[in-house]
Amino acid sequence: MSKLGAVIEAAEKHEKFVHDQVKRARTDQKFGREMTERWSKIKAGIPVARAPTGLPLPRLALPEIDEAGEIARYLFGDGLPGEFPYLNGAYREMYLEPLHEIEMGDYGNRKSPDGSNGDSKRNGAKGNGTKPRVEPQEEPTRLFSGLMLAEDTNKRFHFLSAHQRSKRLSTAFDGPTLYGIDSDADGVMGKIGEGGVAVDTVEDMVRLYDGFDVGAPNFSASMTISGPAPIIMAMYIAAAKRRFGAGVVPNLRGTIQADIFKEVQAQNETIFPTEASLRFLCDMIEWTTTHMPRWYPVSISGYHIGEAGSTPVQQAAYTLSNGFAYAEMLAARGVPVDQFGPRLSFFLDCGLDVEYIALSRVSRKIWAIGMRDVFGASPRGQMFKLHTQTSGRSLIAAEFKNNLTRTAAELMLAYMNGTNSCHSNSADEPFTTPSEEWIRLAAHGQAILLEESGIFKHTMNMLSGSPGMKAVERAVEKAILDEFREIESLGGVLAAVENRYQRSQIQNAAHRYEQQIYDGTRPIVGLTRYRDPNEEPPKIELARTPRKRQELQVNRLKKFRQKHAGKAEKALDKLATVVERGENTFPALLEAVEVCSLGQITERLQELVGRFRPMV
Amino acid sequence: MSSPVRILTAVPICDGHDSAINTINLEFIRHGIEVVYLGFHRYAGDIVRAAIQEDVAAIGISSYNGGHIDFFAEVVRQLRRQGAADIAVFGGGGGTITHYDARQMKRQGVDQIFFAGTSLIEMADYVKKHYGKPRKRMGIKNQDLALARELTAIEDTFARGKGPGRNRESRNVNRASKVIGFTGPGGAGKTTLIDELVLRFLRYEPKARLAILSHDPSVIGKGALLGDRATMINSQDDRVFMRSMATRGQAGGLSPATESCLARLTKADFDYVIIETVGTGQEALPFRSGLIDQTVLVMNPDYGARLQLQKIVMLDAADIVVVNKTDLDRAKAALSEIEHRLTQNKRKQQLVATVAKRHRDPGVDELYEMIKGDSVAAAHDDCPKSDGRSKQSRRSKSAATGKKK
């Protein structure tokens, strides 16, 4: 049995545990009294939030229950926000506005000034838990961008983050970079700087984050790249060292996607055989979790699984099981769970299907149970730290301005699920890398929801736990566990991947989705319903990399290679020795990126471990 | 009945967006089209080479990662340069290919662009209507293309219900190539194994040329997905001529036209011709006696109980038995059971354990040596000034005729 089998058992056990606690609260008077007393104490500790109209509201909304069994069901089965199993949120306050003064309400006896769940933290920030924080919080908005050459993306980063307190840069790379290919490789002209930024060398990486203090507490970078992730990670570190010295390394904060499983299952941007990729990945995780304690070295991603056409349940099930498989591998390498557990983060898609009402809530619960009961993680390692992106697949070229509404609805769902951060897509994405006009609207969509509207800023649990949401939770949880059972019966995640199980399932779902669009089961406004027969092709400003810019990238790369011609071979030979010996490859990569381009390193590694063989 | 329309589909270099093309492939097949699928992240050169060898009527490219104007133009340019301008190029990219782009692409020789919102049925109908016409077969200078069109002509003859008549000439007398047949159950890893062998042939025999006839199942008059090429990363090489054949209703693992196509290939100057059958059952004996020089049965350790081995008739006929995926738990038991089964045959059969998915697998090296047989020496003492290829051919031939039973 793989650890996934143990997770299934743990989930079943937890279900039974909750059931038993409910029964006990109803039959064991002492325990029942404990439950009702704890409940009163929690309610008494909830401060008042004032809407701008003056309306008083509890800062935490709880179900209107007073019976011991139901209280037990809520506290053990769902958990308060920030408490196991984290169904209602990984943290206690999430998007709430900071309180400037504490006003206690009439929600119970006035005993404690802050509620009894005092040790949980809000939104990842370090608080002492005794007083609500008053300083401005980090915004959850992230905007993914990357275009043309490093300095062009750098300019976009400065544009996007100009008005943000925290600088959160989310980086998209171009096709050649995602495949570990240099910009001067045969046949990639035309692809350079398209759909993301071109990075060939550490010098590009220096230009990319120029003007940002990458070691500052309010800075974090995320990099969406998986196949060559360890090489790009090494370049990021090397570039930071060039700018700020070696002392900056422990302060580096951010995320690199580096999720190989979802590449093999869905996104197809992988360059080495799976086992070799996993080794390089684990080498990197081991190194960064030791030397860069604030870095997230893998973002376990369902987004691309969803975008490839999976059902929401498949997305969650494959993502979670991939996560457990990484945990299993790292544990097997002897990395302590409290070292890697808190550094695993997640990335999910949010579309318009009804499952999305509760998909991330359930995912958070299953992850917490598995990490606590199977891997022995402490609370920080149980929390499912989630980045969400609205669905690109759901955006439609026909009457594309409707995409604003689609994205807005998806954003609402994402925040109802308590995502820790979120990217909202631009309406022009069916056509191009977003232009500044539409990107601004996408970013403002989040601000309108979180800052203008009162939906999320006054009260935690504002929309949690409706009967409908509960019904979706139950159905989704059962379906995810059934998917786990299927994967386990195939021998676990890696064996299922090799038998292309997840791929086939995703492809079947994608095919069904398309058929449903054309048979009317899935109406698409502006396309299959209410279509404007006179619609003209839209006038969209396209972000395309001019030929001259592409050539500039190639010239820079060639100069870099000339400059380091002698040293490059030596560094690659050293890397090769480490690979052959089975040692951790990451330190050798850190040296190699100083003098080698991405493509040089990829090629040498492929000679040693082979190339990825695509699955159809 | 005439042959189904044959097209090739692929996703450009640095682009892994295969969701759309996977769905479209399925729809094309449903509409009776034979689709050779080359996969994602493919160079223009690989696409053009494959299109020529497979002699498709059109190439469909699905591009979502930008750079489509350059990429489509490059495919058209290479087709023209190779004398294959009659292979049409069409494609789509959802909203990423604008109407303005499409006009430019058409000026550069692209036949058709499908925009976002086009229904799958519209696309399939377009392909059937526009790419079903016969193309020129005479006066072709490109050797691969000429050979490919001859193979198409052979397949067409069979599709019209006419057999090979008296031209049944596939006996291995006087043929220049060594013919190796790979067979075995679906999922045993035949395709991966062949591709790993190709890597070794290309590396150790710098002049050798190979042909591969790869089979996928189909029903007569219906479409088929011919997808082996997509996973064969090492076989995308100018020294490898690969042809994907649909079985078009014939049982047993091969197509009605296989023998005639093989006869034609062995007359060309390939050093090796490799035939891969579709995944076969226990009763299968896909290769008629004398058709090939060496039979390789590829199995995986999961064949079931030991008794099942007695029922696999290829175990009697194969020259080499490969147990692939020997990294699986059951491998050790499987190897000893199969070895025991082979000793009962009291024939000189070779057994080898491989993990084809593993880079530089020593088992695959061993298999390579078995297949090369006595031509190993020729490769190793290859004198740079001599014509290595003709020497190779002679060696292979003598090896082949020497083995004749």
Tens digit of each residue's pLDDT (9 = 90 or more) over A584-602? 999 999 999 999 999 999 9
Chain A CB contacts of B119 under 8 Å are 518
Using the predicted structure, report yes or no on whether residue A205 has a pLDDT greater than 90: yes
Top-confidence residue, A178 or A120: A178
Question: Which residues in chain B have their CB less than 8 angstroms from residue A609's CB?
Answer: 359
How far B207 CA lies from chain A's nearest CA (Å)? Answer: 21
Contact indicator for B284, B183 with CB cutoff of 8 Å: yes
Structure-model confidence comparison of residues A238 and B120, the more confident one: A238
The residues, any chain, with a CB within 8 Å of residue B312's CB and separated by 6 or more, are: B282, B297, B299, B303
Residue B194, CA atoms < 13 Å, CB-side half-sphere: 33
- Closest in B68, B94, B357 to A273, CB measured: B357
Q: Write down the pLDDT at residue A176.
A: 96
A430 contact residues in B (CB cutoff 8 A): 94-96, 116
Tens digits of residue pLDDT in A75-116: 999 999 999 999 999 999 989 988 877 788 766 544 444 444
Tokens of A395: 């955006």
User: Which pLDDT value is given to residue B404?
Assistant: 36
Chain A and chain B share a number of CB contacts under 8 A equal to: 126
Dist CA A16 CA B30 (whole Å): 48
Instruction: Tell me the per-residue pLDDT of B116-130, one tens digit each, with 9 for 90 and over.
Output: 888 889 999 999 999
Q: Could you tell me if A391 and A353 are in contact, meaning their C-beta atoms sit under 8 angstroms apart?
A: no
Which residues in chain B have their CB less than 8 angstroms from residue A540's CB? 98
CB B278 within 8 A of CB B187: no
Q: One-letter amino acid identity for A93?
A: E
- B95 CA: distance to closest CA in chain A (Å): 4
**Contacts with B, A 160-189, CB within 8 Å:** 174-176, 178-179, 181, 186-189
Supply the pLDDT for residue A137.
Answer: 61
Mutation site, B9, B11, B22, B69, interface A, largest A CB count within 10 A? B22
ipTM: 0.84
Tell me which of A264 and A131 has the higher pLDDT. A264
Neighbours of A53 (CB within 10 A): 6
Tell whether the model's pLDDT for residue A120 goes beyond 50: no
The count of other CB atoms within 10 Å of the CB of residue A332 is: 10
User: What domains are defined for chain B?
Assistant: 6-130 (3.40.50.280), 171-403 (3.40.50.300)
CB contact under 8 A, A431 and B95: yes
Which residue among B13, B96, B359 sits closest to A273, beta carbon to beta carbon?
B359
Angle separating helix axes A436-447 and A150-161, nearest 10 degrees: 40
> Are B9 and B38 a contacting pair, CB within 8 Å?
yes
Nearest to B230 among A498, A542, A616 (CB): A616
Asked if B231's CB is within 8 angstroms of A615's CB, the reply is yes
CA B272 to CA A260: how far, in whole Å?
A: 37
User: With an 8 Å Cβ cutoff, are A187 and B44 in contact?
Assistant: yes
pLDDT at A135 over 80: no
Is residue A546 classed exposed, middle or buried when 0-12, 13-18 and 19+ CB atoms within 10 A define those classes? Answer: exposed
Angle between helices A598-609 and A229-244 (to 10 degrees): 140
In this structure, what are the phi and psi dihedrals at residue A538, rounded to the nearest 5 degrees?
-70, 155
Select from B116, B187, B231 the Cβ nearest to the Cβ of A613.
Answer: B231
The whole-angstrom separation of Cα A527 and Cα A56 is 45
> Are A540 and B66 a contacting pair at CB < 8 A?
no
What residue ranges of chain B have pLDDT lower than 50? 166-167, 169-170, 374-405
Inter-chain residue contact A187 with B18, CB threshold 8 Å: no
State residue A111's pLDDT score: 41
Q: What was the pLDDT predicted at B347?
A: 85
Residues of chain B positioned with their CB less than 8 A from the CB of A264: none
Residue A397: closest C-alpha in chain B: B95
pLDDT tens across A500-511, in order?
A: 999 999 999 999
Q: What is the reported pLDDT for A592?
A: 98
Considering only CA atoms, give the Rg of chain B: 22
Question: pLDDT > 90: what percent of chain A?
Answer: 79
Q: Is A366 on the interface with B (CB under 8 A)?
A: no
Rounded to a whole number of angstroms, the distance from the CA of B296 to the nearest CA of chain A is 22
pLDDT band at A310 (very low <50, low <70, confident <90, very high): very high
What pLDDT, on a 0 to 100 scale, did the predictor assign at position B391? 36
* pTM for the structure as a whole: 0.89
CA triple B353-B355-B361, angle to 5 deg? 95
For A23-57, how does the pLDDT look when each residue is reduced to its tens digit (9 = 90+)? 999 999 999 999 999 999 999 999 999 999 999 99
B43·A511 Cβ contact <8 A: no
Contact residues on chain A for B44, CB-CB shorter than 8 A: 187
The torsion of the CA quartet A103, A106, A110, A115, rounded to 10 degrees, works out to -70
Residue-averaged pLDDT of chain A: 91
CB contact under 8 A, A268 and B40: yes
Question: Distance of CA B174 to CAs A595, B395, B399, Å?
Answer: 56, 13, 12
Chain A residue closest in CA terms to B46: A187
Nearest-CA residue of chain A relative to B39? A616
d(CA B185, CA A470): 47
Domain ranges of chain A: 141-256+543-616
Nearest CA in chain A to B42: A187
| Residue among B14, B119, B120 whose CB faces A191 most closely | B14
pLDDT at residue A107 in the model: 67
CA A414 centroid distance within chain: 12
Q: What is the pLDDT of residue B387?
A: 39
User: Are the beta carbons of A511 and B22 separated by less than 8 Å?
Assistant: yes
Write down the pLDDT at residue A600.
98
Give per-residue pLDDT as tens, A465-523.
999 999 999 999 999 999 999 999 999 999 999 889 999 999 999 999 988 988 899 99
Cβ <8 Å between A431 and B67: no
Residues linked to residue B240 through DSSP beta bridges, in sequence order: B210
Query: Cα B344 to the chain's mean position, in Å?
Result: 34
Closest residue on chain B to A528 (Cα): B117
